[in-house]
Structure 1
Amino acid sequence: MKYKLYKNIFLLFTLSFLFTSCCYNGLYSKNGHCRKKIHDYKLKNTKIDNIDTLAVYKEKINFAINSITKEYVFFEKNDDNSYPYVSYLKFYSNNKVGIFSIAKSDTLKLTREYFNPSKATMGYYFIEGNKMKIKFSIVFQCSHQILRKKATINKDSITTLQSGHSGTIYVKRNIPIAYLENWKPDW
């Protein structure tokens, strides 16, 4: 009986160790965002005309594409049934991009501290004409993953497409420049 109890305790300990050791336990920013190094794009943009690095791009509409009928279904972010956070893209001149997720209730009273790069999901981008490639370093379901998106720049909006089945439209939002300038990404 005693042997069986020890065996069960050992088995439980081993299983819990295996489950916890599978989780991402790498670098994090001081605000808890994953900072695992991912490779930047080989080519760098030396001149960026299509992206305003002194503005943010606010998530406005999410959409899904039916793979059979090719129909689009749009979900406005202002709907009551949408996610309680709004995402903002902030582009930096050194081919780095961050996603800031801010509670909807806080978007009416934005401050400089909301755009501290240590609070962002880290990523990289590369632009050719009005086409863009973006990749983000994320932790999803306890493991590190690289989320890749293709995007199109259309004047003051950016449309991202992920896996060809869903996407997001971001619209440029001008906020006080003092909120965005003199920040350096920590990745």
Structure 2
Amino acid sequence: MTTIVVPGQPLGPAHAYVPGDGVHVFNGQIVSSLVGQVATSKPTSTNTNTATAATPTISVTKPTLSADEEASATLLPDVHAEVLCRVTRINARQATVAIFVVNGRVCGDEFQGVIRVQDVRMTEVDRVRIFTSFRPGDIVRARVISLGDQSNYYLSTAHNSLGVIMASSEAGDPMYPINWREMKSTRTGVIEERKVAKPF
């Protein structure tokens, strides 16, 4: 078997298997002790105990990951890291985003971050409005400036290369940047305001 199991999950009756690594016996059942892959092995001919000679051994081992999978699974945003994120909601004070790429590598899990109104751009900070800088669904290039609190990373787009890189208009059409604060619909030509990232 190569099934993924969780701790406490029954794997079979104790009389049918010899318990191996990563399992234990509880109430007559072989039970997983960790998250991992189930493996059964046929009895070896060197086993001299006739009672267990014909009984397979069952064990649970941690899943093996490739180097890329392991790096992605443990990838965490850090201060100064450049991230790609998706705007999930906005209010007058900040945009909440879901981080899915860190330093060019796709994350194993999405992390939540916020772009506060004072971190949107470097100049004219007192004139910044979140509603004209970002919209839900926008893809934003940003930089981590603080690990923030327990639930959010604090991000900044206060640089020419940072800001919205992909967006859709209110009508759902793709838009392209025409200057540092405006994007234009490819279909209707309607212009909407954004904090635009300078293209590379």
TM-score (norm 2): 0.23
Bigger proportion of residues as helix: 1
Relative contact order, higher structure (CA 8 A, sep 6+):
1
TM-score (norm 1): 0.24
Higher-Rg structure is 2
